[in-house]
Chain A
Amino acid sequence: MKNGSSHSHHILPPRVYLGVGAALLILTAITVAVSFFNFGPYNLLVAMLIAAGKASLVALFFMHLKYDNKLYMTIFVASVVFLAVFIILTMFDTLRRDDIYDIGAGPIRDRAVMYDSVAVDSTITGADSIEAVSDTTINQSPGQ
């Protein structure tokens, strides 16, 4: 590989790695710290922003995206945009489905069927509601 192809490896000084490592540790500490504060609806946003920052640092420095052929950066960013398009356009549906109706949709059952066979404490409301729709209960109820 004497002709200097675009795949030549860029060697970073150790202090860059240590610096990025330190930044990741600090961000982790911040993640823990903010978990003690309640930002209301913005809890998820704050956590995701910090996580996205950490992921960007890893991709840019540890995975060398910053120094590599710009084509890889383009592909990486394009795939993130692509995912964002899917999620955002789907959210236009799922978040606004009850726009013109008074009642919004909720899950019919609180829990997945796979837990049905597991013995559960009957004081849990979910177990009661499942039982209530079974045939025997409905047939017995008029007499009571």
Chain B
Amino acid sequence: MNELPTKSYLNDPKGLKSWLLTLDHKRIGLLYLFSIMAAFALGGIFAMLIRLELLSPGKDFMEADTYNQLFTLHGAIMIFLFIIPSIPAILGNFALPLMIGAKDVAFPRLNLASWYIYILGSAFAVYSMVAGAADTGWTFYTPYSTETTTSVISMTLGAFILGFSSIFTGLNFIVTIHKLRSPGMSWFKMPLFVWGLYATAIIQVLATPVLGITLLLLIIERVAGIGIFDPAMGGDPVLYQHFFWFYSHPAVYIMILPGMGIISELISVFSNKKIFGYKAIAFSSLGIAFVSFLVWGHHMFVSGQSELAAMIFSFLTFFVGIPSGIKVFNWVTTMYRGSISLKTPMLYALSFLFLFTIGGLTGIFLGALSVDVHLHDTYFIVAHFHYVMMGGTVMAFLGGVHYWWPKIWGRMYSELWARISVALIFVGFNVTFFSQFILGSQGMPRRYYNYLDQYQPLHAFSTYGSWILGLGFVIMAVYLVHSLFKGRVAGSNPWGALTFEWTTASPPPHENFATIPETTHGPYDFDKIVPKRTLTED
């Protein structure tokens, strides 16, 4: 029988102060877990309200202005407060030092500072909700964002501050990966999640400052009346879009790359088979990071940018398909003739494969100039990015949470309820968003409060899907909290994985490892080593 260790990072030392001033990467990961999940819940409630309002045409229960504020808040919260920090700050913080056999990240104090900055940025965002929430959409496009009377400044200032939190985390990870790998762990013996985090960190450090500059310019224009983006003052509104997407397109890859890293771990471990094409997957992460900086103009095909620029950006956009395709084919090939175990994390990984592929392929449609003119600013776009962001990143995140949950707490969740929840989320997601592909192709514009009667059946269908999706998340919250108290004790290696974090106790001690582990085999050498599982089948 497995037993929980008497002393672990969770209970040693004790007390609220020891948590709020902790320098332990695992505890900081948990601080992020609670705060980011609160943001996710808030953004999710806004999403449910938006879908409820759209159940039938015209006014159901909220005013049009409230609706504009709600979709802005949903977008801004989900992007800046949830999805950008989610995987790096929660799972990356917790797992990265453990996976490379280190005692902590390179700069523990910077790590704690990043969390406090996250909280400060969130406080600005919450303040702006109370003080008349912005109604610009999460992109804060000019000239409207410089004219509206809602609290654009505090919202953008919040995003600006959150950017620093993101930069700190990225910087910390780059140095940690360069300097703190355990003896014998060469670059190509690192787990692929670490490669994903590395590529992400490079984008975080390079691109986030540009968002900061953009939002500052916006604030300067609003406050000082200096014409930068507003044509009435001699500025160029399309320039705002260049600035904004030069950050925000790479930011999309900040969201998806660490998710792809998690999928590499899950597919290999739950197929009990060595990953196919390790180097191809590792380099395709860097390839995606590189290409991500050259394609931002595909958000601007109908904005009035020059035809030449549109052609160049459209051409470059297709290159994103190559490294993404390499990854998908390598994952599928890894599963081929593997001994596949359909545990909850693997179910999320499989969901990711289906949904991300749909999201990625529709992205290729949208990258084609002529098709984009028809589909731009319709529900097709909404469906596309929810398939990539929720079907991709969130599925990977949930897979990662379920994979490392027994390591984080030392206890297992209910496998039955977890599978029910996966099923509800998968079905609910597709009902909600696949219908939006059809709505968009029929011409339903995004961000509209009202719509023609002909769109009602699909809108209603989508809203019913959001209820299934919501139910899945509620069930998840219940069984995860329940597992903290009543879950089976997992032992150090419940899945039979080969990376370092599974060689130490669950939950790990404060210093991670009794002695720094040495790398004697690759992270996925299932062909050479049969790892000992600490949890038998039910």
Contact = CB atoms under 8 A, between A and B. Distances in A.
A94 interface: yes
A89 B210 contact: no
Contacts of A121: none
A110 B239 CA distance: 18
A89 B294 contact: yes
B305 A97 contact: yes
Interface string B290-310: 000110110010001111110
A76 to B, nearest CB: 13
B contact residues, range: 20 to 34
A93 B294 contact: no
Interface of B: prevailing SS: helix
A137 interface: no
A107 B304 contact: no
A114 B224 contact: yes
Given A90-B242, A99-B307, A111 B293 contact: no
B236 interface: yes
A8 B306 CA distance: 51
A92 B293 contact: no
Contacts of A92: 306, 308-309, 312
A96 interface: yes
Interface in A92-115: 92-100, 107-114
Contacts of A107: 231, 234
A93 B225 contact: no
Given A89-B309, A93-B238, A108-B232, A113 B210 contact: no
B316 to A, nearest CB: 9
Contacts of B313: 89
B227 A90 contact: no
A contact residues, range: 20 to 34
Contacts of A90: 239, 242
Given A108-B231, A113-B227, A114-B224, A94 B236 contact: yes
A96 B293 CA distance: 21
A112 B233 contact: yes
A42 interface: no
Given A108-B231, A114-B226, A82 B306 contact: no
A144 to B, nearest CB: 27
A45 B60 CA distance: 60
Interface in A54-99: 79, 82, 85-86, 89-90, 92-99
A110 B312 contact: no
A85 B306 contact: no
B246 interface: yes
B206 interface: yes
B289 to A, nearest CB: 12
Contacts of B225: 112-114
Nearest to A96: B306
Given A89-B294, A96-B309, A99-B308, A113 B246 contact: no
B474 to A, nearest CB: 44
Interface string B312-329: 110000000000000000
B307 A112 contact: no
Contacts of B300: 93
Contacts of B294: 85, 89
Nearest to B230: A113
B297 A93 contact: yes
B254 to A, nearest CB: 16
Interface in A110-132: 110-114
Contact of A113 (B233, B238, B308): B233
A114 B300 CA distance: 30
Contacts of B210: 86
A131 to B, nearest CB: 15
Given A85-B294, A112-B225, A114-B224, A96 B308 contact: yes
A97 B306 contact: yes
Nearest to B305: A93
A36 to B, nearest CB: 31
Contacts of B231: 107-108
B307 A109 contact: no
Contacts of A94: 236, 238-239, 306
Question: Which of B210, B225, B297, B309 lies at the interface centre, i.e. has the most chain A CB atoms within 10 A of its CB?
Answer: B309
Interface of B: 206, 210, 224-227, 231-234, 236, 238-239, 242, 246, 293-294, 296-297, 300, 304-309, 312-313
7 contacts: A89-B294, A96-B307, A111-B234, A112-B227, A112-B233, A113-B227, A113-B232
Q: Which 9 A-B pairs have the closest CB atoms?
A: A93-B309, A96-B306, A107-B234, A92-B309, A93-B305, A114-B225, A97-B306, A96-B308, A113-B225
